[in-house]
Amino acid sequence: EALVRRDRNNPSVVIWSLSNEMSPITPRDLRNPKMAAMARVFEKIIWEAEREDPSRVIQMSSAMDFLGRLKLYNLHYPKSWQAFPDYPHTAYWVEKPFLFPWYGEGRDEMPAWIWKKDKPLVLGEFTCVFGATPDNQASIVGDVAFERDDFGTALVQEKLWPMEIHAYRRNDVSGFTAWACLCLKGYGQALKALRRSETRAHTHAARPLAALLHTYRSRWFGGKDAVFELSLHNDTRHDTELEFDAALEDDSGKCIASYRMPKAVYGPADCKNFSIIFKLPQLHQSAMFSLCGILRSRNKVVDKWRVPLCVFPTKSQAVLTPQTGVLDPEGRFAAWLEGAGIRGFSVIKDIGEIEKHPELAALWVRPSSAGIRRSDAGTVMEQLTNFVSRGGCVTLDCPPDWIARYLPVPLAGARGFGPDNRLEITQAFLAAPFSPALSGLTERDLGLWGEDYYVAHYCFEIPQGGNVIPLLAAGTDRKGLVASPLLDIHLGRGVFRVSSLCITSKLMEEPIASRLFEKLGACFRRIEMKEAAACVVEDSIAFLRQIGFEGEKCHLDKVWDKPVALVDGECLPSDPSWAARALKALNAGCTVYLHDLGVEKTELIAKAVGMKCQAMDGSLKHGQHDLIEHSSYLADGLTNGYLYWTVNKSKVAPWCVAPLHPHPASAKIVPGEGRKDVWLLTRNGAVTARQVGSGMLVIDNLRWQDKSIEEPERPRRYLTAFLTNLGVRLARGASGGPVAEFETFEERREQGHF
């Protein structure tokens, strides 16, 4: 009573708010006696506040409408961004029925909620960025999250705040608060924060008079109808006359097509949703265009923007070679490909015909079109495996799980919050920039495909063993970038390329799809798998066995005779004679992989092979961690998340930074100035490689065998890809697959899913 009487004449008070994330949400909550008692207290406060000040509404943050007792809805983090890496869809969740994650136990018994516009809707907080590691942010912005002091939070906010604000404004949400746009002390800090790029993006998205574009595609085919969704907004307190013009311009500024929304008076907080359609010009080669929008009020420009568009020829002319075949018993799939502008390939009617085509180097297999049944999946995969072993490339296009289990390294589906717990993505991130299948592509090309924006409707969990190289990475939540829609499994002289990308289904609407089809079908790096031996300590060999290492564990004298020699620093003698043996093996064309050498032995081998560098201690300061340096093909398939080795992560709250391993490497190498003959595979210099004679020297001082690493799946994935790039043959591996449950009820509460 005292508070309301004191502040009810304050113009800054808009709403009375009684609680924060602590109120009953469903009738089931009242079964708890303490919650029921609290509800009675709140009801009394609501009655007293309304009596003292009937001019304002009352909210209870994150309590929806307090079991129907309030005049508005209030929600916090209704659809947590990090659990749904499928933006922009996540931003527009309010347009359809939604089952809140915070319902917790008994969630499946609850009806979905939909905003019926019967009460105002206020979002107390959205796009909350919690996480003990950068994995949360990486699911939205990729590997760069591990390179930023703020875990990439600013990049996430700059990307997602405008999308969410646009979505909420289009749906006429009454209020929303970005968490946390300005959480500062003092006027000076506030001015500085307002100049940050993510804050400017937030401010621009929330401008009072606005013409908002809700179509996010940037690539189109010529000759097609391009539909653009827009909304006009007057979020001032006055009636305002608005007029909108849109134009499609070529790169010289010439207007190709235009549209005008007639003048109309918009009331306070008024908005209008509409669509415009432009016919895109027919082209013989790709060209850049711009979609321009101008909003005027009383003949004065109040909002203006320009969005670049790339328009491609109506049919992509992807010409394959007869050495590339498509398994298609009925010929329908081949006809579909030719209709999409892909030609030049051979049509294989029956899997048994592969033997009759010795010239065949690559085969595209889409199980849904190839007539593969569950009953004969084992036989078909055996024939494909023989083809790959002889040096062929088989691209499995969107294989079902019952086929993926027959692969040399079985693949499991990555779990997310999509339908059937699938991980759906609208953006993939490059993990293998040196792969010939991805040459010339950027991460801009790997997002927002076609009309529905999806790049893949499911992904695979990246294995922790076997000869697997993930070409693209994706992920969700605290698990980070541990999923992939595109992987290479190397076997013999060839490769199984496994893709869940929406390539063939989007050939007619996504220009990048035909380019990828052409490359994925035949372009791969052939890795010669060689016999390997290891002279390592027990912890190292145990770890190697987990990822499928099948090589012999032998004495130091014998290891140098193998094509690949893996040696632990602890197994090397104190006298320098071993360095001469290593140099001799390198000159004979062997790969010498030296692990956990320490400073002195690192300096010794560097001097023996003529590397001008300095070896230093590999320990890191508090909060520091190493990063992948994609300086050569040896780092293909690696992400920064693999090196983020945490210790006792389970003992910290999810919003606190997890403690990192203080001594992840026994030494690091700092190359001499101007030296380009040393490949730094991690930026800290913990892993380096150099061509020596006809052999390859690798110095890996990362202590991946350390048992104190709480998340051994990170170094397992690192070593799996790295050794595969070196040509070390790995079996399936003995490490575990995906977790049984994606997220427990307790974890949902911790992450803000409630």
pLDDT tens digit string along 325-344?
999 999 999 999 998 889 89
Ordered DSSP codes for 153-207? HHHHHHHHHHHHHHHHHHTT-SEEEETTS---SSHHHHHHHHTSHHHHHHHHHT-
Which residue's entry shows tokens 């030609």? 343
Residue type, 746: E
H/E stretch holding 518? helix 511-520
As a whole number of Å, the end-to-end CA separation of the chain is: 32
Query: What are residue 689's DSSP bridge partners?
Result: 679, 698
CB 311 within 8 A of CB 222: yes
Q: Which residues contact 657 (CB under 8 A, 6 or more apart)?
A: 132, 133, 623
CA 299 from centre of chain: 44
How many other CB atoms sit within 10 Å of the CB of residue 414? 27
Angle in degrees, CA 709, 710, 714, rounded to 5: 75
What are the distances in angstroms from CA 678 to CA 98, 386, 610, 671, 675?
54, 38, 11, 7, 7
* CA–CA distance, 745 with 667 (Å, rounded to integer): 42
Instruction: Select from 592, 527, 523 the least CA-distant residue to 556.
Output: 592
Residue 523 CA to residue 131 CA, distance in Å, equals 38
Q: How many CB atoms lie within 10 A of CB 746?
A: 9
Sheet of 324-327: strand order equals: 346-348, 324-327, 362-365, 393-397, 494-499, 486-491, 468-470
Using CA atoms, how far apart are residues 194 and 204, in angstroms rounded to an integer?
Answer: 11
C-alpha to C-alpha distance for 91 and 124, rounded to whole angstroms: 15
Which run of H or E residues covers position 234?
strand 225-234
Q: What are the residues facing 567 on neighbouring strands?
A: 535, 594
With a cut of 70, which residues of the chain have pLDDT below it?
A: 79-83, 101-107, 182, 316, 674-675, 734-754
pLDDT the model gives residue 675: 66
Residue whose pair of structure tokens reads 């539909």 in the numeric block: 227
> Using alpha carbons only, how large is the chain's radius of gyration in Å?
29
Q: Are strands 494-499 and 486-491 parallel, antiparallel or unpaired?
A: antiparallel
Sign of CA dihedral 59, 62, 68, 73: positive
Per-residue pLDDT tens over the stretch 677-705: 789 999 999 999 999 999 999 999 999 99
Q: What is the pLDDT of residue 130?
A: 74
Give the pLDDT of residue 103.
Answer: 65
Measuring CA to CA, which residue among 492, 490, 530 is closest to residue 637? Answer: 490
How far is the C-alpha of 415 from the C-alpha of 583, rounded, in Å?
47
Residue pair 58/70 in contact by the 8 Å Cβ criterion: yes
The total of other beta-carbon atoms located within 10 Å of residue 245's CB is: 16
Residue with tokens 């609407």: 509
What is the pLDDT, as a whole number, of residue 732? 83
Who contacts 304 (Cβ-Cβ below 8 Å, separation ≥6)? Answer: 292, 293, 294, 295
Name residues whose C-beta falls within 8 Å of residue 265's C-beta, 6 or more positions apart in sequence.
239, 240, 241, 242
Beta strands in 238-338 (DSSP E): 240-250, 255-266, 270-279, 287-297, 300-312, 318-319, 324-327
Supply the pLDDT for residue 83. Answer: 64
Residue ranges with strand state E in 349-464? 362-365, 393-397, 429-430, 460-461
Of 663, 671, 705, the C-alpha closest to 689 is 671
CA–CA–CA angle 539, 545, 546 (5° rounding): 90
Phi, psi of 554, rounded to the nearest 5 degrees: -135, 180
Q: What is the DSSP letter of 450?
A: T
Contact status, residue 527 vs residue 488, Cβ threshold 8 Å: no
Beta strands at 346-348 and 342-343: parallel, antiparallel or unpaired: unpaired
Could you give phi then psi for residue 586, rounded to 5 degrees? -65, -45
Distances in Å between the Cα of 515 and the Cα atoms of 18, 187, 421 are 56, 52, 30
For 270, half-sphere exposure in the C-beta direction (CA atoms, 13 angstrom radius) is 11
User: How deeply is 107 buried, as exposed, middle or buried, from its count of CB atoms within 10 A (0-12, 13-18, 19+)?
Assistant: middle
Contacts of 538 (CB under 8 A, 6+ apart): none
pLDDT digits (tens, 9 = 90+) for 76-128: 877 666 567 889 988 998 898 877 766 666 667 778 888 999 999 999 888 87
Helix, strand, or coil here: 710? coil
